[in-house]
Structure 1
Amino acid sequence: MGTRFQAFFSHLRFLALPFALLFLQHPGAQAGSYDDFFTAIIRDNPGTITDLLRRGFDPNTPNERGDKGLLLALQLESDRVFFALLQSPQVDVNAHNARGETPLMLAAIKGNLPAVQALLARGADVNQPGWAPLHYAASGDTPQHAQIVKLLLEHSAYIDAASPNGSTPLMLAARYGSETIVQLLLQEGADPTLKNQLGLTARDFALGAEREHTAALIDTAVRGRGQPKN
């Protein structure tokens, strides 16, 4: 993804490994188990995770930053630990981090299709208010992101979900995502005439990134709706 995308989603910068090592003892867990749990996430060691869960360790124990194991595993791309945690009936698949992001949102932004599929199978929330998983998936530019967009729509994701500033998945796709995702959203009924709180449409998002061909695709969709171009 381009630098514009990285700037727009600066709150998505993932934890650096040195910071992930700075864990404090959690009062609700034995010190050794707590340290072992988060060290296993960092090292992507599913065996230790499975053993701790078998012994009754709470998979939803947060680190000192408030991040729970499932979210941290996705942030650090510890995929084996992620799937080990997901085996626990007690794990909270809708846990939020300090930025309000869920595991499904992080899996979507990373283009992690297997994780998205597994979370949906566990009943992860597709339509949380504000920033939604579809916003995150639509902002990606890989074939995996396009597959995730399609999968979320198949699971009844609201196609014109409004972010806190009124931006829709189509707007983010127009500026940051692939044309495949833009076309998919338009084909599935995304409204290209909507405006966010700044009065910007998806076409404006595309032109702001000098993506004239994407803007032309949106123009065609607007004309197909029988409405004037913005």
Structure 2
Amino acid sequence: MLSRIACVLVTFCLLLACPTDSYADSYADFLFAIRFNDAETVKNFLQQGIDVNSVEGERGETILMIALREKAMRVVDVLLHSPDIRVAARAKNGDTALMIASFLGNATAVSQLIDAGAEVNQPGWTALHYAAASGNAEVVAILLEHYAYIDAESPNKTTPLMMAARYGRAAAFQLLLDEGADPDLKNDKGMTALDFAIELERRDLIDILNARKTRSSSN
């Protein structure tokens, strides 16, 4: 009797294991399709019930974030057209899909994400900080057109202008200044955008700031 029960339990466990293994294989194929920008296969998997907001990897990134990192724009388009997509989802470090697209300088994705409802402004680090750090002036302009707060402060009071200075991004730096960024703000270490430019020995950024001060004093 006991042996018969044991056999039944073993059989039951095997039946449970098969779908799990099958799902794992399917999910691996799904991720493979994302990385190779295979939009049709991704669409088929979603129709079969794979969660469009699935989270993958140690960083806790969504499949939308993975598609952005892989520059799989056909897949990004499929995901953004899914009615259940959560564009505001965050990875473990707090990054959103919009922040990742901004850092990657992907202007097309940034526009698509905003159209899909991604929040441009949020407490702490913002997409504009990331765009300024990467130096893509087109992305900076798109974010500002959608009312990104130009002097947004990170948790340590770093502004987008400071990020542009810190990473030596002259085009983004100039654009932020032209659009009204305050160069006199300080982070929690007392550093301004000029201090970052001096620290990096970026003569071009220093000249931009000095020229601005000269114009201001003459008006």
The TM-score, its normalising length taken from structure 1, stands at 0.79
Q: How far apart are the structure 2 equivalents of 1:105 and 1:177?
A: 19
Please report how far the alpha carbon of residue 36 of structure 1 lies from its aligned counterpart in structure 2 after TM superposition.
Answer: 2.6
SS in 2 for 1:139: helix
Does 1:57 find its partner at 2:50? yes
1:115-134 to structure 2, matched below 5 A, reads: 115-134=109-128
CA distance in 1, matches of 2:205, 2:24: 53
| Corresponding letter in the other structure for 2:209 | I
Match in the other structure for 1:106? 100
SS of equivalent residue, structure 2 residue 201:
coil
* Mapping of residues 72-221 of structure 1, within 5 Å: 72-141=66-135, 145-221=136-212
Query: How far apart in 2 are the matches of 1:215 and 1:47?
Result: 50
- Distance change >3 Å, CA 177–CA 109, structure 1 → 2: farther
**Structure 2 counterpart SS, 1:149:** helix
Larger Rg: 2
8 Å CA contact retained: 1:193, 1:222: no
Give the Cα separation in 1 of the matches to 2:119 and 2:214: 34
Structure 2 unmatched ranges of 5 or more = 1-19
Deviation by residue 1:105-131 (Cα, 9 ceiling, x = unmatched): 111111111101100111111112111
Gaps of 5+ in 1: 1-26
Distance, in Å, in 2 between the alignment partners of 1:137 and 1:56 is: 34
In 2, Cα distance between equivalents of 1:85 and 1:33: 18
What is the CA–CA distance in structure 1 between the aligned matches of 2:139 and 2:168, rounded to whole Å?
Answer: 12
Deviations 1:124-145 (CA, angstroms, capped at 9, x unpaired) = 111121110001111123xxx1
Query: Is contact 2:168-2:202 (8 Å) kept?
Result: no
Higher helix share: 2
Do the aligned partners of 1:109 and 1:139 also contact (CA within 8 Å) in 2?
Answer: yes
Specify which of 38, 41, 49 is matched with residue 45 of structure 1.
38
Q: What's the Cα RMSD here?
A: 1.9
Aligned residues: 196
Cα drift, residue 56 of structure 1 = 3.0
Which TM-score applies when normalising by structure 2? 0.83
The one-letter code sitting in structure 2 at the alignment partner of 1:179 is A
